[in-house]
Structure 1
């Protein structure tokens, strides 16, 4: 078979999630990767709450929470002493079913995604490389290099570039990749070790410009060390060994390394591609945006790209939406990527800045402010909302309309729960649906039945008011659980107009 609906280049988390969601929605995919095997020296660790919420649609969340590690607190160290502790076990309590920090390393993550993808009969084709491609009116024609060295011509309706920071897809599209590269060399070491920082919590050294963080893993005494390398040592990163990196920070955190399982170095860039879509080709994940590892945002943002694009591709390929729906992928995701790169750049610059003033800010001001913030519910909530990506929204963008209660079109639907249940259960199914909190009209019920649009009417309860939801209005939800329409009426004509304006012909499920 030399044709599929979507050809996916790159089998990291972004490409795998895109393949999974498309397969779930009945789209035929082919996914290739130039490497011979999944990576084993990954540096992405955190799975954010918003990712876990969306992963419920493929029954992935429970597996990650069961096999990962829930971090109880973040500790900050200065001059060999722990000076501040930020509790994390319930930092987002009441905001999401996943009100904690979850560590699940990228290598284990990829293995899980590959296993789930194979259940759909799709296997990653290894040692297979994209050499070039061109758009041919009604599709993409790609030239592939197969494992045996032979060339193959392959056709697809669309092509997704999930092939990392050195993306051949991005280069073929001639998309600029403006930004820069941090001067530091990063290293990641997977170690068995002991000491006070191996208590299952996150530990960060604020004392030195040589940044170091200890990320706990599920098994006892097992952690990932992520740090920076400076001065002349950074000139030849390819020759560096663990023994060559600065041990000042390691000693400050009282880490006694017993065994290094593996060690890797890398440079970090902060860049966003000029565009994310060109005709029938798309850029996702690191092919579209790269940034510092501060906050554990990179992998989660790529996964968000994949989920955003998947339902739109499925709608177009299944004949239920016009091609113009795909323009919203770039509009929604590029804005977030630019904000994220700017934010992580500022935080990273603060953490790694050199000089007396920078040292004073890190060692004196930060330890003072962190406990203050941790003691205030508003401070903890702001931090969690930002890092967990639950505040990511598409307000003011083409697919987002209206306001009802405190919820705007483009918002993530707020989580509301009490002893009677929660409003997220219907979201497990990645389909368009309508939520009503209170009562609705006979016309709305009849219209939804006629158009086979799932309608969920919840009896009004205090939990809904506390979450900021409007009584007796309605929310039209996209398959990725963001609010398309927030409206105080019970008029189905509002939905009809929305469908017509956006070229969506019918719902799918």
Structure 2
């Protein structure tokens, strides 16, 4: 009988990242996908700053950035003129090591993740379909059909990373409430020329014709995402790029030299009621799908995977009890609810039809964006929101304490300009204690005794500017969020925190 710690159904970015983080922590994984190979087309093109920060833990960030196209800003076009410009560099330079929007198509992204997974000795099993599963007290029994026929295997846990039509979700009889937008959209991989082919993101808001251009190479390679007008849609024939409205293309000033591939799709907004069902978890599109507004989908699935990976490892190794896995459901479900609501509002505004909607979108919105983005606080807020750096877990059972501006559940602030980068990878995916200033002898001794990594930074003005407090203790989770913040830094307070969350390793 084939037994694994974690069985992963689905080898898109969510499943691949989950497998990578688990394998890096020494957890046995098996990952299968019903496709014959990695994707060759995709809608997802954006990798946000928070994802890159998390990738840095495994030494992936710089490779991903080098392979993609860092976009320094977004431009809004109306009636053939650039009406507003949003600069990411200005907004995020003091907030994250990655103050840009990285355009990196999902198909290329997947191939990079697969290569790193193979380096760890894990192969994606292709043309292998999950037929069903049964939960037991201490394992999940999984039935598969692959190239060699049907088989059965056991895993301690099952992760459904198998997309919007998730067989794992259907096997749970879990709901997937939501709806479908009326508009038909297209995605095309093209060779583009013209002013917009300049390495930035360009959005055209001409009336009801929506168009977005994402450059991902210096030679004009770009991804187009746009709407197709209803009068072009016919049930009698398959749509092609010639059915794309030319008004938005001309208004953006883009010339399409070549179309490498083209596909149409409907946009959905759906959310399941729970991400954890006993020993079975739902992640990524299997748990939540939403509009492409803000390029949040793939990044959210990757966030799901990293949130779950370190918790699974702790429970599998007997370091923590089941309450830690319950926090995956509460933390990621709360974020997904906010995300679906936010992207739904933005998408409804962008795609709304009618004279009044057109007037607001083409006349009012560009003026509002330009005015608002000239205010420093608004500019930073917008960057934090879109980049997912604003995501926090304040309501989580794992979030305790506060010191100055930092609360338990916050993303650890990045200290820009500090002599030593407090986001620098430690080489392991583990908890750590950070102190900016002086750590007490008692804290140092306890961390050494328990094996809890302690990082002490000489106090600098950059730390104060980031909102950190001198000599305070910040207990940082393996995913870079503050679990516990304490001004006193007493060992008893840290020990009590671990006892309260059921984490035996340091209690």
Q: Same fold (TM over 0.5)?
A: yes
Query: What corresponds to 1:75 in structure 2?
Result: 75
Kindly tell me the number of residue pairs found equivalent between the two proteins. 507
Alignment of structure 1 residues 30-109 onto 2, 5 Å: 30-109=30-109
Instruction: Check whether the contact 2:420–2:457 (CA below 8 A) recurs between aligned residues.
Output: no
Query: What corresponds to 2:505 in structure 1?
Result: 506
User: 1:75-94: CA deviations, max 9, x gaps?
Assistant: 11111122222223343010
SS of match in other structure, 1:443: helix
User: 1:82-113: CA deviations, max 9, x gaps?
Assistant: 22222233430100101111111101100000
Query: What corresponds to 1:442 in structure 2?
Result: 441
Distance 1:369 1:493, change over 3 A: same
Report the TM-score, using the length of structure 1 for normalisation.
Answer: 0.97
Distance 1:99 1:427, change over 3 A: farther
TM-superposed CA distance for 1:237, in Å, is: 9.9
Alignment of structure 1 residues 45-444 onto 2, 5 Å: 45-148=45-148, 150-234=149-233, 236=235, 239-418=238-417, 420-426=419-425, 429-444=428-443
Instruction: Check whether the contact 1:212–1:249 (CA below 8 A) recurs between aligned residues.
Output: yes
SS of match in other structure, 1:425: coil
SS of match in other structure, 1:448: helix
Rounded to whole Å, the distance in 2 between the matches of 1:258 and 1:212 is 17
Rounded to whole Å, the distance in 2 between the matches of 1:2 and 1:457 is 45
Rounded to whole Å, the distance in 2 between the matches of 1:448 and 1:256 is 60
TM-superposed CA distance for 1:425, in Å, is: 1.5
Query: What corresponds to 1:494 in structure 2?
Result: 493
Instruction: Check whether the contact 1:401–1:485 (CA below 8 A) recurs between aligned residues.
Output: yes
Rounded to whole Å, the distance in 1 between the matches of 2:484 and 2:233 is 51
User: 1:320-353: CA deviations, max 9, x gaps?
Assistant: 1112210000000000000000000000000011
TM-superposed CA distance for 1:169, in Å, is: 0.5
Rounded to whole Å, the distance in 1 between the matches of 2:489 and 2:506 is 19
Matched, 1:28 2:33: no
Instruction: Check whether the contact 1:185–1:237 (CA below 8 A) recurs between aligned residues.
Output: no
Rounded to whole Å, the distance in 2 between the matches of 1:138 and 1:200 is 51
User: 1:228-257: CA deviations, max 9, x gaps?
Assistant: 123154464981111122222112112221
Rounded to whole Å, the distance in 2 between the matches of 1:133 and 1:400 is 34
Instruction: Check whether the contact 1:71–1:89 (CA below 8 A) recurs between aligned residues.
Output: no
User: 1:343-392: CA deviations, max 9, x gaps?
Assistant: 00000000011111111111111121122123221121011000011110
Rounded to whole Å, the distance in 1 between the matches of 2:481 and 2:274 is 23
Instruction: Check whether the contact 1:19–1:117 (CA below 8 A) recurs between aligned residues.
Output: yes
Q: Which stretch of structure 1 is more off in the superposition, 416-425 or 62-71?
A: 416-425
Report the TM-score, using the length of structure 2 for normalisation.
Answer: 0.97
Runs of 5+ in structure 2 lacking a partner? none
Q: Which stretch of structure 1 is more off in the superposition, 241-250 or 414-423?
A: 414-423
Instruction: Check whether the contact 2:59–2:425 (CA below 8 A) recurs between aligned residues.
Output: no
TM-superposed CA distance for 1:426, in Å, is: 4.7
Rounded to whole Å, the distance in 2 between the matches of 1:421 and 1:496 is 28
Instruction: Check whether the contact 2:211–2:249 (CA below 8 A) recurs between aligned residues.
Output: yes
Instruction: Check whether the contact 1:413–1:483 (CA below 8 A) recurs between aligned residues.
Output: yes
Runs of 5+ in structure 1 lacking a partner? none
Instruction: Check whether the contact 2:228–2:243 (CA below 8 A) recurs between aligned residues.
Output: no
Rounded to whole Å, the distance in 2 between the matches of 1:417 and 1:259 is 42
User: 1:424-463: CA deviations, max 9, x gaps?
Assistant: 1255532111011122322111111111111112222111
Instruction: Check whether the contact 1:217–1:224 (CA below 8 A) recurs between aligned residues.
Output: yes
Rounded to whole Å, the distance in 1 between the matches of 2:388 and 2:445 is 36
Q: Which stretch of structure 1 is more off in the superposition, 64-73 or 326-335?
A: 64-73
Distance 1:328 1:234, change over 3 A: farther
Instruction: Check whether the contact 2:276–2:326 (CA below 8 A) recurs between aligned residues.
Output: yes
Instruction: Check whether the contact 2:54–2:479 (CA below 8 A) recurs between aligned residues.
Output: yes
TM-superposed CA distance for 1:156, in Å, is: 0.4
Rounded to whole Å, the distance in 1 between the matches of 2:65 and 2:500 is 40
Rounded to whole Å, the distance in 2 between the matches of 1:98 and 1:277 is 32
User: 1:407-432: CA deviations, max 9, x gaps?
Assistant: 00011100013252221125553211
Q: Which stretch of structure 1 is more off in the superposition, 304-313 or 259-268?
A: 259-268
Distance 1:236 1:34, change over 3 A: farther
